[in-house]
Chains A and B, each alone.
Chain A
Amino acid sequence: MTVPESQAAITDRSAHLEGAEDAVLRCDELIAGYLPGVNILNGSDLYVKEGELIGIIGPNGAGKSTLLKAIFGLVNIRSGTVLLKGENITNMKAHSLVSRGVGYVPQTNNVFPSLTIEENLEMGAFQVPGKFKERFEFVAELFPALKERRKQRAGSLSGGERQMVAMARALMTEPSVLLLDEPSAGLSPKLQDLVFIQAQQINKAGVTIIMVEQNARRCLQICHRGYVLDQGRNAYTGTGQQLANDPKVIELYLGTLAKA
């Protein structure tokens, strides 16, 4: 990927972490990767305050998904720390994070193909089985298609339907921090709207959200703050509005299509 040519645009670290003192979730200089010797994250920083909705955008292969996975304990962090409400959760196992109130929707492979829709959602509420009924009604209202098909195996669903299941699965619990990896991808415009609106609503209800999106404009519109990730580093930070209107960001990451 091309490095943003104006290195000056990259604010120094302290800027990323400005106001990070009372953050719910905070990452410091994460270095992580899949293969030995190849780092994908090269010192990313990030923090979210209670009740914030932040967006992460960036080119393909920048490491956005890797960042979320690293936070969630699915990629080995080689150095750096992740703090959740002051507790060090670096490399903690995913299921323990779930019990600490973190939820996650992966970008790919985000359903259990041989389980039915209903069972997929049940897995979403795995740690709070008592809540299943109530939450199921809730998500079924959001995505009526899912309720009709509750006995269909997720493996036979269309791409968009899977995405709905994935999103719904994360909504089955009421996490305090929600990590969403491209939740709107593959959804019809109508449902994309719904996803963004829901994200905002959940956020308003007090859930902290970190959202990775390629539907970058939409994302920046609704988020409080945004990070632009490039080559495993934070390239830009700012409020959603600032980033959405920054010409450099537009040129490098947003494109002008939607404007035209």
Chain B
Amino acid sequence: MRDDTMTASAKAAALAAFKDMAREPGVPKPDPILVVDKVVRRFGGLTAVDVDHVEVQRGSITALIGPNGAGKTTFFNQLTGFDTADAGAWTFNGRAMNGVPAHRVARSGMVRTFQLTKALSRLTVMENMRLGAQHQVGESFWHALLPPLWRKQEDEITERAEELLARFKLDAKRDDFAGSLSGGQRKLLEMARALMVRPELVMLDEPMAGVNPALTQSLLGHVKDLRQQGMTVLFVEHDMDMVRDISDWVIVMAQGMVIAEGPPSTIMSDERVIDAYLGAHHDAPLSESELEAQLHEAEAALEAEIEEETQK
């Protein structure tokens, strides 16, 4: 289990780095692992991504939030080589990464997960995990023919995979085909598999959507451990409880652009962010009466909006 004090210290370190930073989009970070400049991606008439400048601090947990269709996933696609940007440049660890094919991006230590999960259906959960490991001797054709060359490494990988699976509550599914997992389990596998890569920067696209809250909570601990181990985490999430709980820094995107940056607490009270994204009621009330009140309020607001629309 995690060592609370240690995690806390890492968090403190991360927070310290962000302490006096300006809360404006594109603010430079003291030790950025990822620097993005003027990335643009258009689909026909639609500009899905138009990021002017953004940096991700090494060793931090950074959340990327924004309304649906803001371009978060598309942004990930550009950075990880799954799609070609129309313009722009970005560096990872100081190395220019535009035009680098997806597998090289992953090898250089920048690994992403997919929002719409990609389970390798007719491989077992364990094989899915093993595939994530890097530098496997047995993955070269000639070595593959001689099992003694890779047996030992395979055992190590398996061990590591088992640990992760246990954490992600997938150990019971170890030998089942990944195609037979439930929606939430696929999300879990997707994330666990990415962690097998041992990346420097892990980019998670809505890792917890559809994951049971109790499990989410325990997994957050794991993510914090990752930061402890020096990993940088950049994640997209719509669950504000989670964002608030683990992120050190939040970047907000809307309509393809970065509109705000800042620590979670500040961001969530930012007027524009509330407007574009959170809505008035993201701090969900717990009592029935409050809910009722809110309901009415929302209805009224909606109606007003509708009226406005129809009047236009």
Chain A binding surface, main DSSP class: helix
Closest to B214 in A: A255
Does B194 have its Cβ within 8 Å of any Cβ on chain A? Answer: no
Contacting A61 at CB < 8 Å: which of B181, B216, B240, B280?
Answer: B181
CB–CB B67/A185 < 8 A? no
Q: Counting chain B CB atoms within 10 Å of each CB, which of A61, A185, A218 scores highest? A: A61
If A60-B184, A182-B183, A221-B286 touch, whether A187 touches B211 (CB-CB below 8 Å) is no
CB–CB B68/A164 < 8 A? yes
Does B115 have its Cβ within 8 Å of any Cβ on chain A? Answer: yes
How far is B309's CA from A141's CA once the two chains are assembled, in angstroms? 9
Does B295 have its Cβ within 8 Å of any Cβ on chain A? Answer: yes
Chain A residues closer than 8 Å to B173, beta-carbon distance: 61
Chain B residues closer than 8 Å to A201, beta-carbon distance: 299
Chain A residues closer than 8 Å to B211, beta-carbon distance: 60, 214
Contacting A214 at CB < 8 Å: which of B184, B241, B309?
Answer: B184
How far is B55's CA from A235's CA once the two chains are assembled, in angstroms? 47
The number of inter-chain residue pairs (CB within 8 angstroms) is 152
Chain B residues closer than 8 Å to A145, beta-carbon distance: 68-69
Does A16 have its Cβ within 8 Å of any Cβ on chain B? Answer: no
Does A253 have its Cβ within 8 Å of any Cβ on chain B? Answer: yes
Given contacts A193-B281, A253-B212, A257-B216, 16 further A-B contacts (CB under 8 A): A60-B169, A60-B184, A107-B183, A156-B43, A158-B70, A159-B115, A182-B210, A187-B238, A191-B67, A193-B298, A197-B299, A214-B184, A216-B213, A217-B213, A254-B214, A258-B241
Chain B residues packing against A (C-beta within 8 Å): 43, 66-70, 72-74, 115-116, 169, 172-173, 180-185, 188, 206, 209-217, 220, 238-242, 245, 277-282, 284-286, 288, 291, 295, 298-299, 306, 309
Chain A residues packing against B (C-beta within 8 Å): 1, 34-35, 57-62, 65-66, 107-108, 141, 144-145, 156-161, 163-164, 182, 185-194, 197, 200-201, 214-218, 221-222, 241, 251-258, 260
